[in-house]
Homo-oligomer: A and B are copies of this chain.
Amino acid sequence: MQAVTIKDIFRNTEAYLNKNISISGWVRTVRVSKSFGFIEVNDGSFFKNLQVVFEENLPNFKEVASLTLSSAITVEGILLASPGAKQAFELKAANIAIAGLSQADYPLQKKRHTFEYLRTIAHLRPRTNTFSAVFRVRSVLSYAIHKFFQERGFVYVHTPIITGSDAEGAGEMFRVTTLDFNNLPRDEKGDIDFSKDFFGKETNLTVSGQLEVETYCMAFKKVYTFGPTFRAENSNTPRHAAEFWMIEPEIAFADLNDNMNLAEDMLKYVISYVLENAPEEMEFFNAFIDNTLFAKLDNVINSQFEHITYTKAIEILEQAKEKFEYPVGWGLDLKTEHERYITEKYFKKPVFIINYPKEIKAFYMRMNDDNKTVAAMDLLVPGVGEIIGGSQREERLEILEQRMRELGLKEEDYWWYLDIRKYGGTKHAGFGLGLERLLMYITGMSNIRDVVAFPRTVKSADF
């Protein structure tokens, strides 16, 4: 008796037809008439269920007929073609062993549940169609990202999660400590004495691995991070989580154009990979979550991405007939409504906007010759707006130091970052991509809480 997965059966049906096989999985539905019944079984290997048919000659027919939802079973039997029926084949059970009987109060009964309710049972929701699809696609997408970079010779770097530097200053941070709150050590001035903390200093959770990975970029030329990052922002929106995963590639001997090419190649590669490797899940999303999904993703895969400057983008927005909620003008940051106008209505495809005013971008971005803009890039996609942000980095020591002085950043906090410019620094560039934002885009799911296994948001860290 060969133990097989339901994925095997669907993908290589011919190999198993009329053979004795065994499958193990969980009951999704049971329908029984007097002398026979059907069970839809899902074994986690595949989005779809296998139909099992059983008859009253089963020694435990009664127990099987009254199986509760989500009970674990192992079925032995013969795989038969069922021509004309809704499904092309079914497993005719010779034996059904009950491996784990669900209690009758199983919370996921057949009726539809709201996503809000399902968040309260995040430990059970991957058993539903929607979340089974979301979290398999999350896995496939994560692998596609690694595969893309590894096949191109990038080195995966684990930048630190606990950081002693608020280097990027990209938002509010979570403090990491082992100090006893009821007995905080104080120095002679009465300030908290962080020299007594675990690391001997103040430490926080990282907001980005970029500065650290730049140092590895100067050794390996092509590197990337893929790890969790954190923001202690008090933003209770469908798009913000306190803990999320980021991918940050960095390439040396490379400028903003190389960076845009890399971002475009990566995005096309990973979307294509997911469409090819999770076709049933993607069909489901397109049918039940967002029926513009395939059109949207095809447009990304098949477009040549547009490239315009920030200055041009402002012109386009100023000439638009659209009423915007937020003001438009050179020097002001673009809001989502502006970004969406440009990518959805004006160009109708993905657009890179480059060369932003230095005032609205980070200190490490490379100063352009106009001395007013920096070599930043944001990639906008229809339906979302910004999905990737990046830049060419300032590799010129004096200009970087001057910029840091202007912004009041202390050189001693960045000594190692500056070293990279002193010792063989060369032009380099990189970008950041939020895994969850991309996953929302690819699945059509509209709340970040529904693409993270156990989401961490303001006032919520359950499980």
Contacts and interface: CB of A to CB of B under 8 A. Distances in A.
Nearest to A163: B461
A177 B174 contact: yes
A24 interface: yes
B419 A123 contact: yes
A149 to B, nearest CB: 9
Contacts of A44: 155, 219-222, 252
Interface string A393-419: 001000000000000000000001101
A176 B172 CA distance: 13
Interface string A177-199: 11101101000000010000011
A215 interface: yes
A363 interface: no
Interface string A211-232: 0100110111110000110101
A31 interface: no
B162 A243 contact: yes
State the oligomeric state as a number of copies. 2
Contacts of A181: 179, 181, 184, 192
Contacts of A227: 227-228
Contacts of A199: 242, 456, 458-461
Interface residues of A, number: 105
Contacts of A71: 424
Contact of A135 (B155, B184, B212): B155
Interface string A246-271: 00000011000000000000000000
A102 B422 contact: yes
Interface string A428-463: 000000000000000000000000111010111111
A102 B423 contact: yes
A160 interface: yes
Which of A106, A192, A416 has the most C-beta atoms of chain B within 10 angstroms of its own C-beta?
A: A416
Contacts of A216: 126, 135, 453
25 contacts: A24-B221, A26-B218, A44-B220, A45-B153, A45-B220, A70-B423, A72-B424, A99-B427, A102-B423, A123-B416, A132-B219, A135-B157, A142-B156, A157-B453, A158-B452, A160-B456, A161-B230, A161-B243, A162-B243, A162-B461, A163-B461, A181-B184, A200-B459, A200-B460, A216-B453
The 7 A-B residue pairs with the shortest CB-CB distance, nearest first, are: A126-B219, A72-B426, A44-B221, A44-B220, A100-B426, A70-B424, A123-B215
